[in-house]
Amino acid sequence: MAYSEQLADRVRLAFGGRRDVEEKKMFGGVAFMVRGYMACGIVDETLMVRVSAEDGERYLREAHVREMDFTGRPMRGYLYVDPPGIRTAAMLRKWVARSVAHVESLPARKAKAR
């Protein structure tokens, strides 16, 4: 499964020059990590975002948003935002900001022993 490089470039811009964002190839797409947590990612032309389970329930009422069901079962706290929902830079920034706000609320990750 490939992912949209054009959307990846737009997501990079949406992070606004943050230096703590790491990219990892995952699930046939790309994930953007903040503080060691996956904040968002891209599968095909679709944005995947990580949000709190409570916020996720509310966001599902918005247009072009659906449950992430990558494994065939919906995953609480993860959503897909289809291309019409991220059409403009402002729309995309909103979703990136939501995902970053959530991962910044999580406890700091412990460094892995090497």
* Fold entry, domain 5-105: Aspartate Aminotransferase, domain 1 (3.90.1150)
pLDDT in tens, 50-68: 999 999 999 999 999 999 9
How far is residue 45 from each of residues 14, 51, 81, 113, measured CA to CA in Å?
Answer: 16, 19, 9, 36
The residue extents of the domains of the chain are: 5-105
Is residue 33 within 8 Å of residue 22, measured between CB atoms?
yes
71's CB contacts (< 8 A; 6+ apart) are none
- Average pLDDT over every residue of 37-43: 95
User: What residue type is assigned to position 29 of the chain?
Assistant: G
| pTM score | 0.91
Residue type, position 105, single letter: S
Kindly state the percentage of the chain with pLDDT values over 90: 80
Report residue 24 as tokens: 């990892």
Burial of 84 (0-12, 13-18, 19+ CB in 10 A): exposed
